[in-house]
Amino acid sequence: MSINTAFYQIAKNVTAGDLAKIIGAKITGIETAVAEKAVIKDIAPFHSASASTLVYQTDPKLLVGLDIKETIIITNEAGAAAAGTKNICLVVPSPRVGFARAVDYLISKLDFGVSASGVSPKATIAPDTLIHPSATIMARASVGSEQWLRLAPSCIQR
């Protein structure tokens, strides 16, 4: 998975047909009725493509002989021809632009709601550190002026 679901969420129940309308794509590949109803479950880089994942590819040579079935691929006419009929192709003039539009529509930030903020007395904080009032810094965390936040495994809440 490429989208960090700890911070972002993928829109639920969006089909390839829905996305094709949003990005102005033509659907090719698998039978159109099946393709239009295929639900996008993940977004991934091309090398991690799997069924029901959305990827993009501009190079038709990389789509020739793609063994994975039912991947939803944003590509161009040449890419769709190379991908054949076992995947769902959303054909647009510029796959990168189409993918950017797709991600803009599909991804949203999570709503964490009201959080319990505060700084643990067991955290180590540099004297010149500015901490936002809504921040939560747990025990054993170390925050300094020239370092990133370091957490011990026991500090991570799940």
- The full set of domains in the chain, from first to last, is 8-109 (3.40.1390.10), 115-158 (no CATH)
Measuring CA to CA, how many Å separate 22 from each of 40, 52, 68? 14, 18, 25
User: Quick one: pLDDT at residue 15?
Assistant: 93
What number of other Cβ atoms are within 10 A of residue 73's Cβ?
27
User: Residue 30 class from Cβ within 10 Å (0-12 exposed, 13-18 middle, 19+ buried)?
Assistant: buried
pLDDT (tens digit per residue) in 7-63: 678 889 999 999 999 999 999 988 777 778 889 999 988 888 888 899 999 999 998
User: Quick one: pLDDT at residue 73?
Assistant: 94
Q: Are 132 and 124 in contact (CB under 8 A)?
A: no
Q: What's the average model confidence in pLDDT over 92-106?
A: 94
